[in-house]
Amino acid sequence: MKDTIGFIGAGNMGGAMIEGIAQNKLFKSILVYDHHPENLERLEKKYGVRTAMDEKEVAQNSDVLVLSVKPKHYPKLIESIKDVVKEDVILVDIAAGVTIHDVKRYFGKDLKVIKAMPNTPALVLSAMSAISFDDKVNEEDKKMIKAIFNSFGKCEVVDESMMDAVTCVSGSSPAYVFMMIEAMADAAVAQGLPRKQAYTFAAQAVLGSAKLVLETGMHPGALKDMVCSPGGTTIDAVCVLEKMGFRASIEAAMQACAEKSKKMTEVK
């Protein structure tokens, strides 16, 4: 039984993970260290987490340890804690471009490591996370890790080699969706709709459409066809999107994103 989960770093992503874990009471104790005291004060007050004096205190006392810092800080952070972590600790790496192999190499020992990629909707407990396990992780560990990531959204297990694909379809894609919502709202404002209402209509339409895909299991193309009545308004809009290269622009953007992700992983 794992009693304590520790976080080194409690910014937006770390804070969102802590919220889901605390609400679902997955661990007896949550131990947190962050360079910003205001983050610790907020989490302690809101969720009753234990706060630590430094990263070593978290590392020494955590059964599961989440390294929630920027990728560039991983080598220095791990150097400072590698001699004090528990031998059976489960390490959770959520940094873009930092692989399971990298983490083991930084620690200089063969510890259990989980590679995870949550996205920013974690801030509203609606993340889509990809998780990969190394071969030291047992079935009980896997079940626990899935529970952690499902506590603030949804998760899927993928081979680590698929993380670049996940980056473009999930990790970075909220930015594409925000751009679409903004463009839809701008067009509605041009038609006379007040700005605040335009954002609400556009955002709710995206949210509802996504739920239809997830909850019905229907192909997105079939759902699109359901909206496109013969000779109607929607099919005219869809034809314009096709002429303007809507699909091709998304595919090209995602390809560029995946290629950059691969380069980040390769360059250490």
State in words which class domain 4-163 has.
alpha beta
Residue 68 and residue 12: Cα distance in Å, rounded? 10
- C-alpha–C-alpha distance, residues 130 and 119, integer Å: 9
203-254 pLDDT tens trace = 999 999 999 999 999 999 999 999 999 999 999 999 999 999 999 999 999 9
**pLDDT under 70 in the chain at which residues?**
1, 267-268
Q: Quick one: DSSP state of residue 101?
A: H
Bridge-partner residues for 113, per DSSP?
91
Cα 117 to Cα 132: distance, rounded to the nearest angstrom: 9
- CA atoms in the 13 A half-sphere facing the CB of 36: 11
CATH architecture of 171-266: Orthogonal Bundle (1.10)
Instruction: Note the pLDDT of residue 267.
Output: 62
Where do the structural domains in the chain lie, given as residue ranges? 4-163, 171-266
Angstrom distances, CA of residue 226 to CA of 105, 179, 215:
52, 25, 16
The token pair that represents 108 in the structure block? 């200089």
Contact 4, 27 (CB under 8 A): yes
Element counts in the chain: helices (H) and strands (E): 12, 8
Q: How is the beta sheet containing 64-67 ordered, strand by strand?
A: 50-51, 29-33, 4-8, 64-67, 90-93, 112-117, 127-133, 153-157
With contact defined as beta carbons under 8 Å apart, do 46 and 21 qualify?
Answer: no
- For the stretch 104-124, pLDDT in tens is 999 999 999 999 999 999 999
What is the value of pTM for the model shown?
Answer: 0.90
